[in-house]
Each structure stands twice: as structure tokens, then as C-alpha cells.
């Protein structure tokens, strides 16, 4: 029996969804479909400020990013103030996936902020000097988040150890900033 690539992707996504509903760490290991090992990366987001949820979005499979899933992720991580959608950098999604799998989770993140328009960023900066003038949020290269079931300091320590981009730590505000920019770190107070 011949199995198409699309069928394999559906099977892998189904396996990931089953693992999520059973509370298992999804995609910590490759999925086995028949004789073929299917490597996939899946993320889930809860966005309490917008009320949006995205569950088990497989954005990468068999060494390739999946355009439809990337578009859906970008829609969910849009600027909540202006409703503007901007393509999220797949590399920042890879950072999230690596952090989530390294911490042995199902990669379900609670999002504080994804993409931020220049207009929204300027307004936030005028109220809070901790908001960078040239924030990577404006390029779709940064996400502020927490990881339910894991302490913020563990998320931060894991991201720092991976050395995949910038890591900002905001314990008083309840989130960690992860980005796909150069490797650096800071602690935000206040």
C-alpha cells in the first residue's frame, strides 16, 4: 500500500493530538509511521489577553516548514491592539519548541505578546521604558511567554543553556522573553 506524504503528515498530527489529549509530552521523540520515522515540530498557544487558543499546530515536518501552519501561528500571535498580522520568524518558533521539549513538556505555551506593530510598540515604550524602541517583536522575531507547569526560572535557564537567541527574564511580570536575535540576556525589573 502506498502512503502519500500528506497522509503521513496527517498521521503524525493525529499522533501528536492523541499524545496531547492523554497529557503526554508530544513530539519529544520522532513519530514512527510504518517503517518511516516522521520528524515533526508542534506547538500550542493559549493567549489569555486575546482569548485565542491554537492547539497542536505542526509547523515543521520532514525538514520543511509548513506554510499553512506558519500562517495560522502568525494569525494567533498577531498584534492584539491593531489586529495586524505579521509573519513570525520560524527560528523563534524553533526556540520555543527546543525549550518545551528540553523541559519535557507538550510545548503548550501561554503567550503574553507575540508580534507587535510599530504603533503599538511606540505606545508601550512611551508608558514603559523597559519596552525596547527597536523591539524584535516588531519583526516577528520575539515572544513573551510562560510555560504552564514549569517555573519561569527553569524556562529562562533552559533557554540560556540552548544559546539560540535573546533571553529576557521578567519574574515580577510573570514571563520570559525569547527571541531569534543574537545570543544575549537581561533581567527586567519593575
- Looking at the DSSP bridge assignments, the partners of residue 31 are 38
pLDDT for residue 35 = 59
Give every residue of the chain whose pLDDT is below 70, as ranges: 1-37, 190
Residue 3 is predicted with a pLDDT of 40
Q: Residue 100 belongs to what domain range?
A: 42-57+67-187
Predicted pLDDT at 155: 98
Q: What is the pLDDT of residue 36?
A: 63
Which pLDDT belongs to residue 56? 93
The rounded distance, in Å, linking the Cα atoms of 190 and 150 is 22
Query: What would the grid cell of residue 180 be?
Result: 531569534
- Residue written as grid cell 519583526: 139
Closest CA to 110 of 141, 80, 84, 143: 143
Give the pLDDT confidence score for residue 33 in this predicted structure: 57
Distance set, CA 186 to CA 5, 102, 123 (Å)? 43, 21, 22
Q: Is residue 35 part of a domain?
A: no
Does residue 3 lie within any of the structural domains? no
pTM: 0.80
Q: Is position 141 within any domain? A: yes
Report the pLDDT value the prediction gives residue 30, as an integer from 0 to 100: 56
CB 110 within 8 A of CB 146: yes
Number of domains the chain is built from: 1
CATH code of the domain in which 127 resides: 3.30.1380.10
Query: Is residue 5, in this structure, part of any structural domain at all?
Result: no
Which pLDDT score is estimated for 11? 45
Residue 22 lies in a domain: no
In a domain, 166, yes or no: yes
Amino acid at each position: 500500500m502506498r502512503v502519500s506524504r500528506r497522509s503521513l503528515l496527517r498521521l503524525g498530527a493525529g499522533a501528536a493530538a492523541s499524545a496531547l489529549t492523554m497529557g503526554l509530552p508530544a513530539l519529544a521523540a520522532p513519530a514512527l509511521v510504518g517503517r518511516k520515522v516522521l520528524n515533526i515540530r508542534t506547538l500550542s498557544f493559549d493567549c489569555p489577553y486575546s482569548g485565542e487558543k491554537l492547539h497542536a499546530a505542526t509547523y515543521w515536518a520532514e525538514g520543511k516548514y509548513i506554510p499553512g501552519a506558519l500562517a495560522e501561528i502568525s494569525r494567533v500571535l498577531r498584534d492584539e491592539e491593531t489586529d495586524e498580522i505579521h509573519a513570525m520568524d520560524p527560528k523563534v518558533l524553533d526556540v520555543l519548541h527546543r525549550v518545551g521539549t528540553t523541559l519535557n513538556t507538550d510545548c503548550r505555551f501561554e503567550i503574553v505578546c507575540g508580534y507587535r506593530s510599530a504603533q503599538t510598540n511606540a505606545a508601550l515604550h512611551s508608558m514603559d521604558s523597559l519596552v525596547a524602541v527597536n523591539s524584535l517583536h516588531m519583526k516577528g522575531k520575539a515572544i513573551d511567554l510562560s510555560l504552564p507547569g514549569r517555573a519561569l526560572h527553569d524556562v529562562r535557564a533552559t533557554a540560556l543553556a540552548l544559546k539560540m537567541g535573546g533571553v529576557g527574564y521578567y519574574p515580577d511580570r510573570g514571563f520570559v522573553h525569547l527571541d531569534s536575535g543574537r545570543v544575549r540576556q537581561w533581567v527586567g525589573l519593575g
